[in-house]
Amino acid sequence: MKKSWQIFWHVFFWLSMISFFVYLAYGSSKMTLKDLLVIFVGFGGINIGLFYINFLVFIPRYLDTKKYKLYAGAIILTIILFGLGKYGIALMFKELILMREKGHILSFWRYFGSTVFTSVIFVFLSTVLRFSVDWFLNERIQRDLENQRLSAELSFLKSQINPHFLFNSLNSIYSLAYQKSDTTPEAILKLSEIMRYMLYECNDNKVELSKELQYLQNYIDLQKIRFGNKAFINYEVHGEVTNQHIVPLLLISFIENAFKHGVANDPASPIVLKINLSDGHLYFFVQNKKHSHNRDASGGIGLINVRRRLDLLYPGKYNLEIRDEADTYTVQLSLVL
């Protein structure tokens, strides 16, 4: 909140409080409005002054710097001085403030004791407000720092995806070029489309689900070219794709893992990839047969990366199950979009 607005709300609060008590007293007291204004505005102004001296000066200068003795001394001395000042004003309006029934005049010590009690209340209220404001400010600062840390971590995780994917794709295209395959230009074109998506479409926190699914399709097409159209994958999308959004590049690591560590050229055991959309949920399933010589291969940094991104971007909104069995590797992910 801007400082001008803070000042406005403070002034508005105190004026409202003084006006409220003047209104209540005016209806139930025989004193004139002028007398009430002397009491509530004059003495209220003194108490408010004590409130802000503690709030703006003593707490930041002494209490926040752990100078507790100086703080206690400053508060006690100020309360005494303000009490003497109030008594001096009371003497000026003796009949209005100090006069009691039957002409009895309130003694100095009784009046001074009551003013000290009032001053302590205002000091206590200003201390509570100051600590509350500081607590909320510290919470906001910590929240901002945490958001900055998470943003930096997400940027780092996302920066890992592109080189990782590019490295694997270039290896695939290199293999095609080495074999002098006629599909090399098509593979380069597919990679160009994929990289365009990754560079220009994935800068936001979330992208349209339809674009992400098209990106997955392009990747699968690229892999089919790499395998000389001998890659067997059952890719199905069920449910209506409308205006749903998803964190970009979230699912690709699972599919990369299936091609990298699984058997893709066996028509009897194709890679199975299914995506179901229902009631704001995405259900993702991928299963591949494992290479006999690569049965213990893990997903590497890709799966570690995607799990961390899920923790950061979908806390409490996802369920990830990975089953690494003797012959098959299965990933099931349910996600609240």
Contact 164, 302 (CB under 8 A): yes
* Position 171 in a domain: no
- Is residue 261 a part of any domain in this protein? yes
Burial readout 290-311 (b: 16 or more C-beta within 10 A, e: otherwise)? beeeeeeeebeebbebbeebbe
CATH number, domain with residue 265: 3.30.565.10
**Count of all residues that appear for the chain in the document:** 337
- Is 279 domain-assigned? yes
Cα 220 from Cα 256, distance rounded (Å): 9
Do residue 101 and residue 201 come from a single domain?
Answer: no
> Are 66 and 138 part of one and the same domain?
yes
pLDDT of amino acid 296: 47
Res 145: pLDDT: 57
Residue 333 φ then ψ, to 5°? -130, 125
Would the CA dihedral through 198, 204, 206, 211 be positive or negative?
negative
Torsion angle of C-alpha atoms 60, 62, 67, 73, degrees rounded to 10: -150
User: Are 321 and 186 contained in the same domain?
Assistant: yes
Between the alpha carbon of residue 269 and those of residues 80, 177, 328, the distances in Å are 89, 28, 10
| pLDDT value of residue 23 | 58
pLDDT in tens, 139-186: 877 776 566 566 655 555 555 555 666 776 787 788 778 877 777 888
Distance CA 18, CA 45 (A): 9
Is 320 within 8 Å of 307 (Cβ atoms)? yes
Is 106 a domain residue? Answer: yes
Joined tokens for residue 140: 């906001």
Structure-block tokens of residue 9: 């709300």
* 175 in any annotated domain: no
Q: What is the pLDDT of residue 298?
A: 47
Number of structural domains in the chain: 2
Whether residue 116 sits in one domain with residue 206: no
Pick from 143, 165, 200: which residue ends a domain? 143
197, 128: one domain = no
Q: How many CB atoms lie within 10 A of CB 136?
A: 10
Is 222 found in the same domain as 120?
no
Residue 168 located in a structural domain: no
Per-residue pLDDT of the chain in tens (337 residues, 90 and over written 9)? 566 767 776 777 777 776 665 655 555 556 666 666 667 767 778 888 888 899 889 988 888 888 889 999 999 999 998 888 888 877 777 766 676 656 677 778 887 888 888 888 888 988 988 888 888 877 877 776 566 566 655 555 555 555 666 776 787 788 778 877 777 888 888 888 887 887 777 777 788 999 889 889 888 888 887 777 777 889 999 988 888 898 888 888 888 888 877 888 788 888 999 999 988 899 999 998 887 665 444 455 567 778 888 888 888 889 999 988 888 889 999 999 8
Per the structure, the complete domain to which residue 14 belongs is given by 3-143
Residues 231 and 89 in one domain: no
pLDDT score of 283: 95
pTM score of the predicted model:
0.54
Q: Give the pLDDT confidence score for residue 276 in this predicted structure.
A: 93
Residues 186, 139 share a domain: no
Answer yes or no: do 331 and 226 share one domain.
yes
Do 201 and 132 fall into the same domain? no
Domain membership of residue 269 (yes or no) is: yes
Q: Both 116 and 255 in a single domain? A: no
Domain termination residue (choose one: 143, 165, 195): 143
- What is the three-state SS of 159-216? HHHHHHHHHHHHHHHHHHHHCCCCCHHHHHHHHHHHHHHHHHHCCCCCEEHHHHHHHH
- Asked if 332 and 287 count as a contact pair (C-beta separation under 8 A), the reply is no
Q: Where are the beta strands (DSSP E) in the chain?
A: 207-208, 233-238, 245-246, 262-263, 271-278, 281-290, 318-324, 328-336
First-to-last C-alpha distance (Å) of the chain: 33
Domain final residue pick, 95, 113, 143: 143
Nearest to 55 by CA among 39, 44, 71, 77: 71
Verify that 209 and 299 share a domain, yes or no.
yes
Structure tokens at 215: 């990106």
Is position 194 within any domain? yes
Q: How many other CB atoms are found less than 10 A from the CB of residue 32?
A: 11
